[in-house]
Amino acid sequence: MRWSEFVNKECIDLVNGEKLGNFSHADLSFHPQTGKIESVIIPVHTSWFKRHTHELTLSWKTIKKVGPEMVIVDTGFHRD
């Protein structure tokens, strides 16, 4: 799958069904020796006007399923 196809998908948490964001503004982190993807860094907006932003770093191993419209990830933690 090409990155251009991946960026249009929503990221959904398997643990609680929460929408974590989409990959359109995400960054990738690569292993320096192997060049393999280590993690995806997704900017998360916390206010309605998108002024407060933090980053959610997901290990590439947390991706469980890539579907036609969404990517299911297993974060293994509950956010309150």
Q: pLDDT tens, 11-53? A: 999 988 888 888 888 899 999 999 999 999 988 766 566 565 6
pLDDT reported for residue 45: 65
Question: Is residue 79 in some structural domain?
Answer: no
CA angle 8, 29, 12 (to 5 degrees): 40
Question: Is residue 80 in some structural domain?
Answer: no
Pairing of strands 37-45, 10-13: unpaired
CATH of residue 44: 2.30.30.240
Q: Which domain holds residue 21?
A: 3-73
Question: Is residue 78 in some structural domain?
Answer: no
Domain count within the chain: 1
Question: Is residue 64 in some structural domain?
Answer: yes
